[in-house]
Chains A and B, each alone.
Chain A
Amino acid sequence: MFYRIAGQYKTSYGADYALFPIKQDAWLLALILVFAFVVFPLTASDFMFRALLIPVLIYALAALGLNILTGYAGQLSLGTGAFMGVGAYACYKLITIFPEMNIIGAIVLSGFFSAAAGVAFGLPSLRIKGFYLAIATLAAQFFLLWLFQKWAWLYNYNASGAIQVPNTQLFGVTITGAQAPVLAQYFFVLITVCILTAFAINITRGRIGRTWKAVRDMDIAAELVGINLMKAKLSAFFVSSYIVGIAGALFVFLWRGAAEADLFDIQLSFRVLFIAIIGGLGSILGNYLGALLIVALPVIIGTVPAAVGLPISSAMVEHLNTMIIGALIIGFLILEPHGLARLWALMREKLIIWPFPH
């Protein structure tokens, strides 16, 4: 009914590369963007922005970065949290060393630091794969976290050991720091995430994306069709860690406002990994669905029962949350390894042929 492909023909290969072969998909995206850019800013409360919208976007971005490495290039990483940390600390150092630097410049540059760290810790992937590579990235996670704790220069020798985000301005509007209006922060995050998502879509559907997927599906065959494995793997680590690093910088500068080393611990790595798995490995859309689910779940458990006159303790909220996420992970791994994104694709297919069953 809503989804109809009749009468939509393609007349050139150029047209076949349109992002949305079906018009309705474009409308759906337009609708989502209208909500993101117009409806939410006009209606959402501060709580909605801080507890839901901003973190969903940032977690989705981090998961997108991880998904490029794991879902597209097939290299498992458990170091996402630490690479987010590299982005955050790099941004902090850049802003404090060069106070006149534009916040956009600092964030764009901070991604290159995490990208470099990603490539360095990705080097073992040239010799080892799968489980062993995961262990190597785990080592990166612990090493970097230790560095964040012990290397006092990173947090400017603050007695607390934490980094405190300074006030910065963009076009005369305070964008980071305690005084920043949440709406400005939301727009900053939203635009950054949109741009990086567009880049990620383009890279993954072109030559480089194909080399990544080829390496993921069968690395020996990839080499034998002329793909340089080293370039393919390291470029995946680079792009992935760049995006993850930006997500880390946004995480601290546009959302938390302050950070201790422990923020970037293994829990964060797993959180992002769960988002990618629940959302769907090898999918861009999935990262958003996964992030929405993981971020919204505790908010819903915390507010809905109370609203219907069934207050539960905050400890209970946490337990419930952990249990549900655990069940979801196991469920998806067993039943639908391609996650929510695949569920959506199936639903869309049903809609296209609806109401005819075949």
Chain B
Amino acid sequence: MNARPDHSVLADQEGSARDDLLMDVRNVSLSFGGVKAITDISFDVRQGEIRAIIGPNGAGKTSMLNVINGFYTPQVGTITFRGVERRSMKPHDAVRQGIARTFQNVALFKGMSTLDNIMAGRSVLMKRNIVWQMLWRGPALREEIEHREKVEEIIDFLEIEHIRRTPVGKLPYGLQKRVELGRALAMEPSLLLLDEPMAGMNLEEKEDMSRFILDVNQQRGTTIALIEHDMGVVMDLSDRVVVLDYGKKIADGPPDEVKNSQAVIDAYLGVPH
């Protein structure tokens, strides 16, 4: 990989030695039949940081998130999350281990209310069996109320009290994205994956969303990996950026360094390889 700037190599070596490492992606390759979506990508995510993943359309960003949360199994490579190495896992196990995500195309439960959508995010944290549920007494009711309180905190935080009971299918797109963030937060993740959280939003909505993302990171201490096309947002929010192009990593480092890297400029301007 001759296109890779020097500092990214340094960052990698430095990264694997650090003890605040949350996740380490090693030599991951993923292809669909003949299509190579990801080719030999390695990068890490540190505890407490906001890590941006950027790149032109079709670069393999969403595929990368899908590998991380177990939706796709890469042909080659490993993912070490909180010290546990694996290649494949079931998505619901990823949630149990603390990886939550939102989707590029909103994937909410359209017929359910905002409240129910976010409560559904807590399904894995709830334990009471069907017999208690049936009776709606004692432990089942206590559990429900306990989780409801947590969910109401999220609803307050995201300022969506007014749409608590509205079926999400009826909400405008910007609010749907916010509810989806709420659902992911409800899982109390240690790593939050956001796939283009601001796509299709106007400036004001983008500012709100940026504020929420920063607050989540700072107040809750949640580590975030975020895909975003808006360069301004990426530069403002992220601590470090990894750049993909045609499934390959072409840069990795702090935002201002990455921005000035020749490989990145070429990729975004569409210079042929």
Contacts and interface: CB of A to CB of B under 8 A. Distances in A.
B144 interface: yes
Given A217-B111, A221-B108, A224-B101, A202 B124 contact: no
A223 B100 CA distance: 11
Interface in A245-266: none
A203 B130 contact: yes
Interface stretch (A133-141, A225-233, A301-309, A328-336): A225-233
A221 B107 contact: yes
A271 interface: no
Contacts of A221: 103, 107-109
Contact of B145 (A17, A235, A282): A17
A172 interface: no
Contacts of B148: 13, 16
A218 B145 contact: no
B145 A13 contact: yes
Interface in B77-111: 91-92, 95-96, 100-101, 103, 107-111
A214 interface: yes
Majority SS at the chain A contact face:
helix
B119 interface: yes
Given A17-B145, A216-B111, A223 B123 contact: no
B8 interface: no
Interface residues of A, number: 30
A352 to B, nearest CB: 14
Interface in A165-222: 199, 202-203, 205-208, 210-211, 213-214, 216-218, 220-222
A203 B131 CA distance: 9
A14 interface: yes
Majority SS at the chain B contact face:
helix
A239 B92 contact: no
Interface in A25-71: none
B123 to A, nearest CB: 5
B157 interface: no
Contact of B119 (A199, A210, A218, A228): A210
Contacts of A210: 112, 116, 119-120, 123
Nearest to B100: A225
Given A211-B120, A218-B110, A221-B109, A206 B140 contact: yes
A226 B187 contact: yes
A128 B247 CA distance: 32
25 contacts: A13-B145, A17-B141, A202-B140, A203-B133, A206-B140, A207-B119, A207-B126, A207-B128, A208-B133, A210-B119, A210-B120, A211-B120, A213-B120, A217-B109, A217-B111, A218-B110, A221-B107, A224-B69, A224-B91, A224-B107, A225-B95, A225-B100, A225-B120, A227-B124, A282-B111
Interface of A: 13-14, 16-17, 199, 202-203, 205-208, 210-211, 213-214, 216-218, 220-228, 235, 239, 282
- What are the 3 tightest A-B residue pairs by CB atom distance, in nearest-first order? A226-B95, A217-B109, A226-B124
